[in-house]
Amino acid sequence: MGMSSEPTAPVSSDVRKVSFDDTRGAFAHLSNQELRFSYWVFKLMNSPLVVKISSQLGLLALKLHLPVTWMIKATIYRQFCGGESIVDSRKSVQKLGNAGIGAILDYSVEGLSHEKDLEGTANELLQVLHEAEDDPNIPIGCMKLSGIARFALLEKVSSKVQLTAEEQAEWERAQGRLERICEKAASLGVPMYIDAEETWIQPAIDQLAETMMQRFNSKRAIVFTTLQMYRHDRLAYFGKLIERARAEKFRLGVKLVRGAYLEKENERARSKGYPTPMQASKANTDQDYDGALDLALKHLDCVEICAGTHNEASCMLLVEHMRQKGLPNNHPHIYFSQLYGMSDYMSYNLSGSGYNVTKYLPYGPVKATVPYLIRRAEENTAIAGQMSKELRMIQQEQARRKTS
């Protein structure tokens, strides 16, 4: 594990084959009891009605200050989060590390707006980098710009409306926080992923991410931007970024995802009457995602990528492209990444076959992680009555253990 500045030369001849059907390897890290727990959580989330009602009740109970945090902590939080603090998360980091999987500590506190809180998040991110310095099981850090800059300010900068003098000073303070974080990441040699967010704040994020990459990625990718391929303009933007990186001689770090805010984006476009920035269909998103993987592999001499996806076909496509190009499984410019508690059957099998794998490991106070947890629950509900793949794989492993 650990990202390196080596160019495209193979670092080993590891070309082992990977299969996502090996439930034994995929769930070896879970005891029977832990497997039963995961089964139970995914079974509950499989019902769209249960997810809808419990999300609304959970949010309401928190608003009314009812004592429900213990219940959230004992269920969905336990499945998807590492703990309430960095120290609390160490056990989960170690467990992933035992299987060769790197943890990306994701401080999951959202929607902050006071300067003191934004400063607090920046300090927390610096702490994560310090933790990574001491722990090889944490190869990379990640952050959301909206955690260190006020959302409404990011929106105003993105819309290119003139800032007031006070806002300009606030914007400079936010940029200062980002610079401090990227400087620390560079001095420790720990890459930092900048997450992609809503399209109406993304222009400001893109501009900052590009500036940071230009400044810190001269030898290797320290700063990574994120491209959401559910946007119909991102493949073209990726091409432009590659041209810029080549012209200005910096390494392009890119995390490729499909995108987490589809309904919110479409809803806003509808209500404000502008054309949606989203792709016309899931098939178009898939096509551009796979197109972006292809483009990245064509430019591996200047691009480093993280495929942040639970999509089996995309992962297998990347595996196949690597094989065809004769790249070793652990090529230093290619990472696979999934979210903690999800798609273990992919993460553990990829890692078991020698690929570079990380998992986003969210942590933070239970209450603060609720929006994140609701997104995960919604992502894991049954589609058109079909049981989630996750649940099927857990069931298969339970059956295998019973008979063996």
Ligand X SMILES: Cc1cc2nc3c(=O)[nH]c(=O)nc-3n(C[C@H](O)[C@H](O)[C@H](O)COP(=O)(O)OP(=O)(O)OC[C@H]3O[C@@H](n4cnc5c(N)ncnc54)[C@H](O)[C@@H]3O)c2cc1C
* Residue ranges binding ligand X (CB under 6 A): 195-196, 226, 228, 230, 257-262, 278-279, 281-282, 285, 308-311, 337-339, 360
Q: Using alpha carbons, select from 329, 303, 298 the residue that is nearest to residue 10.
A: 329
Dihedral-angle region of residue 364 (phi above 0 means left; psi in -120 to 50 means alpha; beta otherwise) = left
CA 206 from chain center: how many Å? 17
CB of 144 to ligand X, least distance (A): 8
Nearer to ligand X, 68 or 255 (CB): 255
What's the min distance (Å) between Cβ of 172 and ligand X?
A: 25
Residues 93 and 137 sit within 8 Å (Cβ to Cβ): yes
Task: Return the number of the residue (230 or 355) whose C-beta is nearest ligand X.
Answer: 230
> Within 10 Å of residue 34's Cβ, how many Cβ atoms?
12
Tokens of 355: 């690929």
Shortest reach from residue 108's CB to ligand X, in Å: 12
In angstroms, what is the minimal distance from the CB of 110 to ligand X?
Answer: 12
Count the Cβ atoms, other than its own, within 10 Å of residue 23: 23
* Closer to ligand X by Cβ: residue 172 or 294: 294
Cα dihedral 292, 355, 134, 214, rounded to 10, equals: -20
Of 68 and 289, nearer to ligand X (C-beta) is: 289
Sign, Cα dihedral of 403, 100, 193, 30: positive
CB of 311 to ligand X, least distance (A): 4
With b for 16 or more beta-carbon neighbours within 10 A and e for fewer, the 317-327 pattern comes to: bbbebbeeeeb
Residue (108 or 337) nearer to ligand X, CB: 337
For the bound state, the minimum distance from the C-beta of residue 190 to ligand X, rounded and expressed in Å, comes to 16
Shortest reach from residue 361's CB to ligand X, in Å: 10
Nearer to ligand X, 68 or 394 (CB): 394
- DSSP label at residue 231: B
Strands, sheet with 252-257, edge to edge from the N-terminal-most edge strand: 102-107, 357-363, 334-339, 303-308, 252-257, 223-228, 192-194, 141-143
Rg of the chain over all Cα atoms, to the nearest angstrom: 21
Give the Cα separation of 318 and 323 in Å (integer): 9
**Shortest reach from residue 278's CB to ligand X, in Å:** 5
Nearer to ligand X, 68 or 147 (CB): 147
We find the least distance from the C-beta atom of residue 194 to ligand X, in angstroms, to be 8
- State the sign of the Cα–Cα–Cα–Cα dihedral 168, 173, 178, 182: positive
Nearest to ligand X of 75, 311 (CB atom): 311
Query: Which residue's CB is nearer to ligand X, number 54 or number 309?
Result: 309
Give dist(CA 76, CA 301) in Å, integer. Answer: 41
How far is 284 from 327, CA to CA, in rounded Å? 28
The sign one gets for the Cα dihedral 168, 169, 175, 178 is: negative
